[in-house]
Structure 1
């Protein structure tokens, strides 16, 4: 049996952009992942589809799995030869009980590595516009656990803290906010000292309440501040009004679900993330090339019969050229063929192979492609159309009307995904979802199959094309359609909707 190993990985405060390069690399190779409730949705979405996922659910003193059981599970999974990732919110060694989890592994000779993470103590204030140090205000920062003990009192030397004249960061302390503020004042800190409580930092739901040490508990209660949240005490809190930035971005405060296949999601996700959105990738479909595709292989052997090669998706391009490569068929066999693409993404996929497109419709849908080909194809020319097994009939209908000869050959299947982390049905019940981005009717159907009995009427579907929007409307979703059938236009539509909602 192969040697198992455990990685204790800091997931950061939530924003997947704050996950370190090493953490992401280790996570992508994981076979088993034990994760906390504090690991962000976007980070959890990076867990490989084939990895076994174990939710240990630790948050604010409530554990879905007791710590001792977590320790034993890590040991057992590693002993079975697995690559085990223990994914912990923030940093595993900062009030994360990482040391406890290592003791049992060390005692049994199980190899492990530590991957430090960005701590919420620094990142969350930064996302709220609060620098934890500033030469005009303080020269030190102190991180304290605010977790209450059994006697409902934090075991903290408050008098020592007041003498430090630095920024105080209390983690896991929102339940003890009143006790902390009162204890600091009893120890001699001025009631007028700036203080803040920061909720769900680095997410689309982040909120800040900036006040004074005396007024903060009442102000936080009025705003119904809840966990996870951190408390910041010190003069630097006054800078939040001047330095706030996260919510000011075009998509600041927006949570967007991206449903594209995993291999295609990154382009859209990066554009949305760059505008400030919290992006959760939940691929609703995947494209699977048809194995032992005798029909396509036969067509490739008689390419001299065709004058046009027509692609309706990037996936079709990828599968077709992959089959050429696997069959050791030289790309020079395509010499003399004219190429057609349904839209810019497909055009780019063809161009990446060093081939320029001869025909592309102004409107990127199957019917428009059929009409464009009807005008471009000369009498007697024949088309090869490698595409999805279930392709739009609008393309071939337009060709049939003109009597154009073609071979419509399926090269891949569209398969609905079975689930993800976080589970979609759970997310829709527990999270505010502002927009769901759909790039095809099949992604809508795949999303619906994953969501179970969700209330789709609460969702805003932002769709590429009217055909995709019609599918979303069948589920009762509120639908918006991008002005053009492009990823840039889809991104712009989401940004415009969000700006209008904030106005």
Structure 2
């Protein structure tokens, strides 16, 4: 068996937008991902569902798996011929022990690559409005680990740091040693009025900062219960934080939104929320797949020209319908007699990409509204084909079945539920739902949480009804559109400010 390969990938400080293009590309091709707790939820959600996921923990003072064992895991998985990604917070070579993880690989001749990441030493201060260098304040930057190797009694050389003069000092992994660091610098001769900052959970919606000076920072941090992960910045540049503050000024700065969406679908909702400053976590509790050997659909396609109307309530159904048409070698010109109807703009766009103009779309983008529109237009002799998901309630098909419309409902895809291994829902999170099926997906995925604490933003009444069934706190968008859903998120944020 050929040996596999290992990639040491720096995941950056947490914000998924700060993961490098190469890092994302490598991660999406991984067969095994070994990750720690400093990797953001938004990045963990990018791990392929087919990949083996190994959580090795590693918070300050809490190493679930010791470093030596992590090294062995990388070797064992690579020897099985796998594409292994070691996903590490920040940069793998800046106090990330990346060099140690390579040593065992080198001994066994395992090929590897390094994908540098954006270090928290620069990015976290930037998100707090602190430029680590500025010509008017400092001419150098020094990055120091505040966490010493186990058994090492050697202390930080504070006298040498103070002798550097006007500089910026960044201490990583030093939250627990904050008092010792500040006292050490003061005792070594640094002015106790020197500006200093501690930055907690930088680049996330929960980031906090305390700007003080060397003398007062430990007490203020203790009063505010500042914890890990965090970094300490010392130097005159800290005084610029209020002037240069920007992250919290964004419309959705400080808001974490969980977007429920099938993994195989790109989310314009997530993109728009991120652009407004939200921390966005993509929770993919489901994926869709065509029904295999779908004889019912094939039979319908053989006489597709007999249908006056073909109704679509999702873009998934559109893609499967046209793909099957092609696979069965049925000429698209056989649709000349058919009228097409879409539940909303996204579905309409999917149809029109196939070169077909949509004949009807309701003003309100609900399955019920589509059904009512067709009921009013269809003649008794008109055959109406509705393409639906398997074993899932269809508002469109259910309503039409109670009317005189000559309707045939054909399942074309099934929804597969996945277990959630990465995302933890916090009480302050806002969770968006774009359909009743995304609610069911969320419930199936998040099995061990109290749904009464979930702040749900729903795209319509049917979706809200499903969320209410599980006791969630309900907010309904004024219109069944992505933009209206976002407006609801913004309103919730304003109420809670």
TM-score, L = length of structure 2: 0.96
- Distance in 2, Cα, partners of 1:117 & 1:378: 62
CA contact (8 A) 1:148 1:176 kept: no
CA contact (8 A) 1:134 1:236 kept: yes
> Are residue 163 (structure 1) and residue 163 (structure 2) matched?
yes
The match for 1:441 is 436
Secondary structure of the residue aligned to 1:155 is coil
2:496 to 489, 493, 501: 501
CA contact (8 A) 2:8 2:85 kept: yes
Distance 1:190 1:153, change over 3 A: farther
- Distance in 2, Cα, partners of 1:135 & 1:328: 68
Distance 1:150 1:114, change over 3 A: closer
- Distance in 1, Cα, partners of 2:185 & 2:479: 58
Secondary structure of the residue aligned to 1:340 is strand
Superposition deviation, residue 42 in structure 1? 0.7
The match for 2:192 is 191
Superposition deviation, residue 401 in structure 1? 5.2
> Are residue 13 (structure 1) and residue 8 (structure 2) matched?
no
The match for 2:31 is 31
- Distance in 2, Cα, partners of 1:363 & 1:390: 25
Kindly provide the CA deviation profile for residues 166-192 of structure 1, in whole angstroms up to 9, marking residues without a partner as x. Answer: 110000011111111111111111111
CA contact (8 A) 2:401 2:407 kept: no
The match for 1:81 is 81
Superposition deviation, residue 152 in structure 1? 9.2
Superposition deviation, residue 193 in structure 1? 0.6
Superposition deviation, residue 324 in structure 1? 1.8
Secondary structure of the residue aligned to 1:371 is helix
The match for 1:326 is 327
The match for 1:269 is 270
Kindly provide the CA deviation profile for residues 319-371 of structure 1, in whole angstroms up to 9, marking residues without a partner as x. Answer: 11121232233322222321101111111111222222111111222221111
Superposition deviation, residue 161 in structure 1? 1.0
TM alignment of 1:339-378, pairs within 5 A: 339-378=340-379
TM alignment of 1:82-481, pairs within 5 A: 82-148=82-148, 155-164=155-164, 165-390=166-391, 392=393, 394-396=395-397, 398-400=399-401, 402-420=403-421, 422=422, 424=423, 427-428=424-425, 431-481=426-476
Moved more, 144-153 or 308-317: 144-153
The match for 2:49 is 49
- Distance in 1, Cα, partners of 2:41 & 2:191: 39
CA contact (8 A) 1:147 1:154 kept: no
Moved more, 290-299 or 107-116: 290-299
CA contact (8 A) 2:453 2:472 kept: yes
Secondary structure of the residue aligned to 2:12 is coil
Moved more, 162-171 or 229-238: 162-171
Superposition deviation, residue 25 in structure 1? 0.4
CA contact (8 A) 1:359 1:376 kept: no
Moved more, 145-154 or 344-353: 145-154
Distance 1:149 1:287, change over 3 A: closer
Kindly provide the CA deviation profile for residues 287-330 of structure 1, in whole angstroms up to 9, marking residues without a partner as x. Answer: 22111111111111111211111101111111111212322333
Distance 1:60 1:392, change over 3 A: closer
- Distance in 1, Cα, partners of 2:396 & 2:259: 27
Distance 1:97 1:400, change over 3 A: closer
- RMSD across aligned positions (CA): 1.6
Distance 1:332 1:242, change over 3 A: same
Kindly provide the CA deviation profile for residues 218-243 of structure 1, in whole angstroms up to 9, marking residues without a partner as x. Answer: 11111110011000001110111011
Gaps of 5+ in 2: none
CA contact (8 A) 1:265 1:281 kept: no
Distance 1:402 1:227, change over 3 A: closer
TM-score, L = length of structure 1: 0.95
> Are residue 490 (structure 1) and residue 485 (structure 2) matched?
yes
Superposition deviation, residue 440 in structure 1? 1.3
- Distance in 1, Cα, partners of 2:364 & 2:192: 64
Superposition deviation, residue 479 in structure 1? 0.6
Superposition deviation, residue 61 in structure 1? 3.5
Secondary structure of the residue aligned to 2:267 is helix
Superposition deviation, residue 264 in structure 1? 2.3
Distance 1:151 1:190, change over 3 A: farther
